[in-house]
């Protein structure tokens, strides 16, 4: 985890050095259980190189039997089979079946929700945890758990969706700013939703029904292209619902002569049309 966090810090340093809009490029931190994004009643965040998560939302998605809150002691106890793990607010000490242990950062309460370091929860419950700093996603795997529909977030997408979208953003909006990148990403997503184009990101990119829609996608190099950090951010933020071009379905680096009435917005020299 610490190595992954250092990777994130280095990525942000690179963003700053290249003049990118780091505020716009910051992405929501997602928690996935068995590749499903789970609902959060409080946003996860990074504290002292640790991922802090709302305890109840995460442990219930992981199939634990019970979470007990003791207001008097300000403790939260996770019960899984014969194992009981108790955390105390603002204390780095915690107890597993009454055996005292320590962790690097203390639990805290944010907006009425108890936030715990995810790594400790996962290690004590023996789950596999991986962090992808490029797309700010924590993946937890537990094959024995089936995440209930109530715990699954409405908006679901996978790594391949982000990758294809980030690649087309990289080649279509290279060097023209984050806002234009976000807009290009949303054109693709609008096409997926429209009914006039294929129903997946990848299929939209390679669509040739009426004409070759995205010529750069048909170059051999596109299949191995590594997106830049701002393109990753634009792709993921678009998938998370950040939309700056409404229902636009088309864009071009110069005006379309026959679509002047359909022009929605011009962003950094790119023309976006309905």
> Tens of pLDDT along 223-251?
999 999 999 999 999 999 999 999 999 99
> Tens of pLDDT along 175-215?
899 999 999 999 999 999 998 999 999 999 999 987 888 99
**Quick one: pLDDT at residue 218?**
94
CA dist 241 and 239 (Å) reads: 5
More confident: 26 or 256:
256
**Quick one: pLDDT at residue 27?**
84
Q: Is the pLDDT of residue 45 over 90?
A: no
**Quick one: pLDDT at residue 60?**
78
Beta bridge partners of 69: 76
> Tens of pLDDT along 129-185?
888 888 888 888 877 778 888 888 888 999 999 999 999 999 999 989 999 999 999
- What mean pLDDT is reported for the chain? 85
**Quick one: pLDDT at residue 65?**
61
Q: How confident is the model at residue 7 (pLDDT cuts 50, 70, 90)?
A: very low
> Tens of pLDDT along 66-118?
788 899 999 999 888 788 899 999 999 999 998 999 998 999 998 888 998 88
CA dist 204 and 233 (Å) reads: 20
CB-CB contact of 51 with 140 (8 Å): no
The DSSP line for 195-259 is: SSS-SSHHHHHT--SSS-S-GGGGSGGGGG----HHHHHHHHHHHTT--SSTT--EEESS--TT-
* pTM of model > 0.85: no
User: What are the structural domains of the chain?
Assistant: 2-151 (3.30.457.10), 159-273 (1.10.10.2520)
């Amino acid at each position: 985890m610490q190595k992954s966090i250092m990777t994130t810090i280095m990525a942000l340093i690179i963003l700053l050095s290249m003049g990118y809009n780091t505020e716009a490029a910051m992405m929501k931190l997602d928690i996935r259980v068995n590749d499903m994004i789970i609902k959060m009643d409080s946003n996860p965040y990074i504290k002292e190189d640790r991922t802090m998560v709302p305890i109840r939302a995460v442990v219930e998605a992981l199939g634990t039997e019970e979470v007990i809150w003791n207001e008097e002691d300000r403790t939260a106890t996770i019960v899984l089979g014969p194992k009981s793990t108790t955390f105390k607010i603002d204390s780095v000490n915690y107890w597993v079946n009454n055996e005292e242990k320590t962790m690097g950062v203390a639990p805290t309460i944010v907006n009425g929700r108890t936030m715990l370091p995810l790594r400790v929860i996962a290690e004590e419950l023996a789950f596999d945890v991986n962090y992808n700093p490029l797309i700010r996603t924590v993946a937890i795997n537990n094959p024995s758990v089936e995440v209930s529909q109530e715990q699954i977030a409405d908006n679901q997408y996978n790594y391949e969706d982000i990758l294809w979208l980030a690649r087309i953003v990289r080649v279509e909006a290279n060097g023209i700013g984050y806002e234009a990148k976000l807009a290009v990403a949303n054109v693709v997503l609008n096409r997926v939703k429209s009914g006039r184009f294929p129903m997946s990101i990848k299929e939209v990119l390679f669509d040739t029904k009426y004409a070759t829609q995205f010529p750069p996608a048909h170059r051999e190099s596109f299949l191995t292209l590594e997106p830049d950090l701002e393109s990753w951010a634009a792709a993921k933020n678009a998938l998370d619902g950040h939309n700056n071009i409404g229902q636009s379905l088309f864009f071009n680096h110069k005006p379309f002569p026959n679509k002047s009435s359909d022009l929605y917005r011009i962003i950094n020299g790119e023309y976006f049309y309905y």
